[in-house]
Amino acid sequence: MIENRLGDYLEHMRQAASDALIFVEGLNKEEFAEDKRTQQAVIMSLVIIGEAATKVMDRYPEFTAQNPQIPWRSMRGMRNRIAHGYFDINLDVVWETVQVALPELLTVLPTEQN
């Protein structure tokens, strides 16, 4: 019997999304573009989200099917693009993700497993 870690993975996603939003708080896009430390912190948060989303997709397919409002494939895809194309990261996409996708994710992510 595999231990049920679904709640942990969802919490990792929530925490990483919240962290990324805190990292960019008070910054505009130009300041973000000039702040390598913040970029790295946000990118790491996106990797954590994508890694947790991948675990949920692989280990709890019924949960992902029951929660189609969550962009599972997009999160996994972003993690893969970052991990495999690290030197080609598009900061405009990262900025847009933090400004639009992460706040939305936090509103649709269940606070506890079904």
> Which one from 59, 76, 79, 81 is the annotated catalytic residue?
79
pLDDT digits (tens, 9 = 90+) for 20-57: 999 999 999 999 999 999 999 999 999 999 999 999 99
Q: Give the list of residues 6+ apart from residue 113 with CB closer than 8 angstroms, or none.
A: 4, 6, 7, 10, 63
Is residue 3 within 8 A of residue 113, CB to CB? The reply is: no
Give the pLDDT confidence score for residue 111 in this predicted structure: 77
Query: Tokens at residue 2, please?
Result: 């595999």
pLDDT digits (tens, 9 = 90+) for 80-110: 888 887 678 899 999 999 999 999 999 999 8
Query: Tokens at residue 104, please?
Result: 């939305």
Whether 12 is catalytic: no
Whether 84 is catalytic: yes
